[in-house]
C-alpha cells in the first residue's frame, strides 16, 4: 500500500513529456468537452491563478532575481501585484462581460431577437517575453481563461529560471489539460507554431513577431502582436516668450515643465528593469537649454535612486544575457557620455547612462536600445520633435512633458503611437481601463482589463426568428417571383 502511495507521488511530480501536437490535441479535446466554458469553471481557475501568485510570490521574486537580478519591489509592483489586481478586476466584471449583448432592433425585426454572443475561440496560444516573464506570460492567459478558451502558455526561453518555475508549478494550481505550459527554444517553438490555433497572442520583438504572423497565416489564425520599438520622449522648451510672460505673471518657475519631476519620471521609466521594458522611454528629444537642466537633475536623481555605488544597489537589475550586453556596449562606442557609461561583463552590469550630441543617423537611433542607456537628440521645438518622430516607425509609447495645452494637443493630433502618456512614463500601462498595445511596427491589437476578455472572444451575431405570420410578411419581398423594379425602398 505504501509503495503505491509513493509511486503516485513520483508520477505526479514528473510531468508527462508530450509532443507539441499531443499537447494541443489534449487541449482541443478538453475544449470540445466544454469544460472551460462555464462561468464557474472560469472563476475557479482564475482564483487558482491568484492563489498561485499569492502562495508562490516570493519564489517568483527569487527566480526573476536569478534570471537578471530583478529587484523584488519591481517584481511585486510590475508583475505579481499587477496580475492579482487584474484577476480581481476580471472576477468583478466577468459575469457582465459574458452576458450576450442585445443590439438595437431595426424596425423590420420587431418580432425577432438579436444577440451578440462572446464565443471563446477554442485553443489559443499565448507567447510571453523574458523581460517581464511572469506578467507578459500570464496576463494575456488570464484574458484567455476568462473568455472560456483553452490556452497553451509558452514562456520565453531566455528567462530560463522563471519559465522553468512556471512549468513546474502552474500545473499544481490550474487545470493542466486546459492551460498547459510549453517550454522550448526556437526549434520547439517552430514545431509548436505548425499546429493550428484559434488565436495567437504574442509578446516580443518585431522581428520574431513577423515569424509568428507568417506561421499564423498558414492556418488563417488571428493574432495579437505586442511588439516593441523606440518610444520617444519630448521635453518642452522654455523659449516661448508669451508663455514665459504668463508664467511670470502667475509667479510660476520660468519653465514649461517641472524639470525635476520630469527627470525623475523619465529616469524611473528608463532604468526600471535596467531599461529592458517595451515601453521604456527609448530616447530623449529636447533643446540644448533643457538638456543642461535635465542633466543636472539626472545626476542627483540617479544618486537618489541607487546611492553612491550603483553596482551594490539591490534596486538596479542586470542585463539578461551576454548577447544583449555586447549589443548594448556596441551602441555606446564612440558616443559622448554625459553620465555613466560603466560596464562590467562579469556581472552583466551597465550603469545608468545618458548620451549627448547624438546624431539621428547613429546606430543607437536605429534599433530599440532595451538597456539603461538614454541618448539625447537635440531639437529646437515641438514641431521639430514631431517631424523627427514621424520620420520613423510608429512607436509603442510616446511621452511628452509640457504644461502647455497647445503642445499636448499638437502631439496628440500629429503623431501616431500605441499609447501616449503626458508628463509621465509607463504609468498609462497600469490603468486597466486603458487598452494597451501598439500600432504599425509596434504591434497589432491591444489588451488589459475588459480588452483582455474581448481579445479572446469571437463576437458571434445571432438572429432568432419565430414562425409568426406577421414576421413572415415583413420579409416576404425576398421571395420570387420578383417585381419589375425590385427595390423595397
Ligand atoms: P524573447 O526572446 O523572450 O522572445 C519572445 C517569444 O518569442 C519567446 O516566447 C520566445 O521563446 C519566442 N521566440 C524567439 N525567437 C523565436 C523564433 N525564431 N521563432 C519562434 N518563436 C521565437 O523576447 P524578445 O523578443 O527579446 O523581447 C524583447 C522585445 O519584446 C522588445 O522589442 C520589446 O520591446 C518587446 N516587448 C513588447 C512588449 C509589449 O507588450 N508590446 C512587452 C515586452 C517586450
Average pLDDT over residues 294-314: 97
226 CB under 6 A from ligand 1? yes
334-346 pLDDT, tens digit per residue, is: 999 999 999 999 9
Average pLDDT over residues 472-487: 86
Query: Would you tell me how many other CB atoms lie within 10 Å of the CB of residue 292?
Result: 13
**136 falls in which pLDDT band (50, 70, 90)?**
very high
d(CA 285, CA 229): 16
Nearest CA to ligand 1 atom 11: 156
pTM equals 0.93
Please give the distance, rounded to the nearest whole angstrom, from the Cα atom of residue 445 to the centre of ligand 1: 16
Average pLDDT over residues 174-194: 98
5-21 pLDDT, tens digit per residue, is: 444 444 455 556 899 99
Q: Can you give the pLDDT at residue 14? A: 54
**347 falls in which pLDDT band (50, 70, 90)?**
very high
Closest CA to 282 of 402, 208, 357, 366: 366
Average pLDDT over residues 303-323: 97
Is the pLDDT at 488 greater than 80, yes or no?
no
Is the pLDDT at 471 greater than 90, yes or no?
no
Q: Which atom of ligand 1 is nearest to the CA of 193?
A: 20
d(CA 358, CA 60): 39
**Ligand 1 pocket mutation pick from 181, 192, 204 by most atoms within 8 angstroms of CB:** 204
Q: Which atom of ligand 1 is nearest to the CA of 437?
A: 41
Higher pLDDT, 253 or 441: 441
C-alpha cell at 225: 502582436
Strand 343-344, strand 349-350: pairing = antiparallel
Q: Which atom of ligand 1 is nearest to the CA of 127?
A: 9
130 CB under 6 A from ligand 1? yes
Q: What is the DSSP letter of 286?
A: E
Could you give the dihedral angle defined by the CA atoms of residues 96, 430, 349 and 353, in that order, rounded to the nearest 10 degrees? 150
Query: Would you tell me how many other CB atoms lie within 10 Å of the CB of residue 127?
Result: 26
Q: Can you give the pLDDT at residue 474? A: 84
Is the pLDDT at 248 greater than 80, yes or no?
no
Nearest CA to ligand 1 atom 27: 204
89-127 pLDDT, tens digit per residue, is: 999 999 999 999 999 999 989 999 999 999 999 999 999
Q: Which atom of ligand 1 is nearest to the CA of 418?
A: 41
191 CB under 6 A from ligand 1? no
356 contact partners, CB below 8 Å, separation of at least 6: 291, 295, 336, 338, 375, 376
Average pLDDT over residues 42-63: 98
Strand 443-444, strand 223-226: pairing = antiparallel
Biggest CA–CA distance in the chain, Å, is: 89
Rg of the chain (C-alpha set): 26
HEC per residue, the chain: CHHHHHHHHHHHHCCCCCCHHHHHHHHHHHHHCCCCCCHHHHHHHHHHHHHHHHHCHHHHHHHHHHHHCCCHHHHHHHHHHHHHHHHHHHHHHHHHHHCCECCCCCHHHCCCEEEEEEEECCEEEEECCCCCCCHHHHHHHHHHHHCCCEEEEECCCCCHHHHHHHHHHHHHCCCCCCCCECCCCHHHHHHHCCCCCCEEEEECCHHHHHHHHHHHHHCCCCEEEECCCCEEEEECCCCCHHHHHHHHHHCCCCCCCCHHHHHHHHHHHHHHHHHCCCCCEEEEEECHHHHHHHHHHHHHHHHHHHCCCHHHCCCCCCCCCHHHHHHHHHHHCCCEEEECCCEEHHHCEECCEEEECCCCCCHHHCCCCCCCEEEEEECCCHHHHHHHHHCCCCCCEEEEECCCHHHHHHHHHHCCCCEEEECCCCHHHHCCCCCEECCHHHEECEECCHHHHHHCEEEEEEEECCCCHHHHHHCHHHCCCCCCCCCCC
Q: Can you give the pLDDT at residue 484? A: 82
Q: Residue 151: exposed, middle, or buried by beta-carbon count in 10 A (0-12, 13-18, 19+)? A: buried
* ipTM exceeds 0.85, yes or no: yes
Average pLDDT over residues 78-84: 97
Nearest CA to ligand 1 atom 39: 226
Q: Can you give the pLDDT at residue 249? A: 55
Is the pLDDT at 448 greater than 70, yes or no?
yes
Please give the distance, rounded to the nearest whole angstrom, from the Cα atom of residue 205 to the centre of ligand 1: 5
Is the pLDDT at 420 greater than 50, yes or no?
yes
Provide the mean pLDDT of the chain.
93
349-369 pLDDT, tens digit per residue, is: 999 999 999 999 999 999 999
C-alpha cell at 69: 537580478
156 CB under 6 A from ligand 1? yes
Known catalytic residues are 226, 278
**Ligand 1 pocket mutation pick from 79, 127, 129 by most atoms within 8 angstroms of CB:** 129
Average pLDDT over residues 156-179: 98
Q: Can you give the pLDDT at residue 9? A: 47
Strand 281-286, strand 373-378: pairing = parallel
Nearest CA to ligand 1 atom 16: 186
Amino acid at each position: 500500500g505504501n509503495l503505491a502511495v509513493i509511486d503516485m507521488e513520483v508520477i505526479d511530480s514528473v510531468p508527462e513529456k508530450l509532443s507539441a501536437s499531443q499537447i494541443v490535441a489534449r487541449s482541443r479535446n478538453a475544449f470540445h468537452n466544454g469544460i472551460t466554458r462555464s462561468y464557474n469553471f472560469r472563476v475557479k481557475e482564475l482564483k487558482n491563478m491568484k492563489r498561485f501568485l499569492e502562495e508562490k510570490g516570493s519564489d517568483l521574486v527569487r527566480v526573476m532575481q536569478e534570471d537578471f537580478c530583478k529587484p523584488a519591489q519591481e517584481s511585486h509592483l510590475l508583475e505579481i501585484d499587477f496580475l492579482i489586481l487584474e484577476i480581481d478586476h476580471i472576477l468583478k466584471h466577468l459575469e457582465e462581460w459574458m452576458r450576450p449583448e442585445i443590439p438595437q432592433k431595426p424596425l423590420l425585426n420587431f418580432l425577432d431577437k438579436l444577440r451578440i454572443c462572446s464565443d471563446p475561440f477554442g485553443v489559443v496560444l499565448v507567447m510571453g517575453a523574458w523581460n517581464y516573464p511572469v506578467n507578459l506570460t500570464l496576463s494575456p492567459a488570464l484574458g484567455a481563461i476568462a473568455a472560456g478558451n483553452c490556452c497553451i502558455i509558452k514562456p520565453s526561453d531566455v528567462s530560463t529560471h522563471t519559465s522553468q518555475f512556471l512549468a513546474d508549478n502552474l500545473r499544481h494550481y490550474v487545470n493542466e489539460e486546459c492551460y498547459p505550459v510549453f517550454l522550448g527554444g526556437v526549434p520547439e517553438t517552430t514545431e509548436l507554431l505548425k499546429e493550428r490555433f484559434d488565436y495567437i497572442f504574442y509578446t516580443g520583438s518585431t522581428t520574431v513577431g513577423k515569424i509568428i504572423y507568417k506561421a499564423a497565416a498558414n492556418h488563417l489564425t488571428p493574432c495579437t502582436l505586442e511588439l516593441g520599438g523606440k518610444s520617444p520622449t519630448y521635453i518642452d522648451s522654455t523659449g516661448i516668450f508669451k508663455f514665459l510672460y504668463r508664467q511670470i505673471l502667475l509667479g510660476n518657475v520660468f519653465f514649461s515643465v517641472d524639470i525635476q519631476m520630469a527627470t525623475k519620471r523619465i529616469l524611473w521609466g528608463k532604468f526600471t528593469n535596467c531599461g529592458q521594458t517595451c515601453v521604456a522611454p527609448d530616447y530623449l528629444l529636447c533643446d540644448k537649454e533643457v538638456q543642461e537642466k535635465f542633466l543636472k537633475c539626472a545626476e542627483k536623481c540617479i544618486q537618489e535612486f541607487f546611492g553612491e555605488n550603483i553596482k551594490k544597489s539591490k534596486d538596479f537589475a542586470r542585463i539578461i544575457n551576454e548577447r544583449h550586453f555586447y549589443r548594448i556596449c556596441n551602441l555606446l562606442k564612440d558616443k559622448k557620455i554625459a553620465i555613466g557609461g560603466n560596464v562590467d561583463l562579469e556581472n552583466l552590469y551597465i550603469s545608468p547612462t545618458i548620451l549627448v550630441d547624438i546624431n539621428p543617423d547613429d546606430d543607437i537611433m536605429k534599433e530599440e536600445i532595451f538597456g539603461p542607456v538614454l541618448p539625447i537628440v537635440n531639437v529646437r521645438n515641438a514641431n521639430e520633435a514631431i517631424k523627427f518622430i514621424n520620420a520613423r516607425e510608429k512607436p509603442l509609447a510616446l511621452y511628452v512633458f509640457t504644461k502647455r495645452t497647445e503642445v499636448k494637443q499638437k502631439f496628440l493630433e500629429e503623431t501616431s503611437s500605441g499609447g501616449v502618456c503626458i508628463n509621465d512614463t509607463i504609468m498609462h500601462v497600469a490603468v486597466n481601463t486603458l487598452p494597451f498595445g501598439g500600432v504599425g511596427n509596434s504591434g497589432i491589437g491591444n489588451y488589459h482589463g475588459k480588452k483582455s476578455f474581448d481579445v479572446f472572444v469571437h463576437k458571434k451575431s445571432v438572429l432568432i426568428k419565430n414562425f409568426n405570420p406577421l414576421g413572415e410578411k415583413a420579409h416576404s419581398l425576398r421571395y420570387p417571383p420578383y417585381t419589375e423594379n425590385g427595390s423595397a425602398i
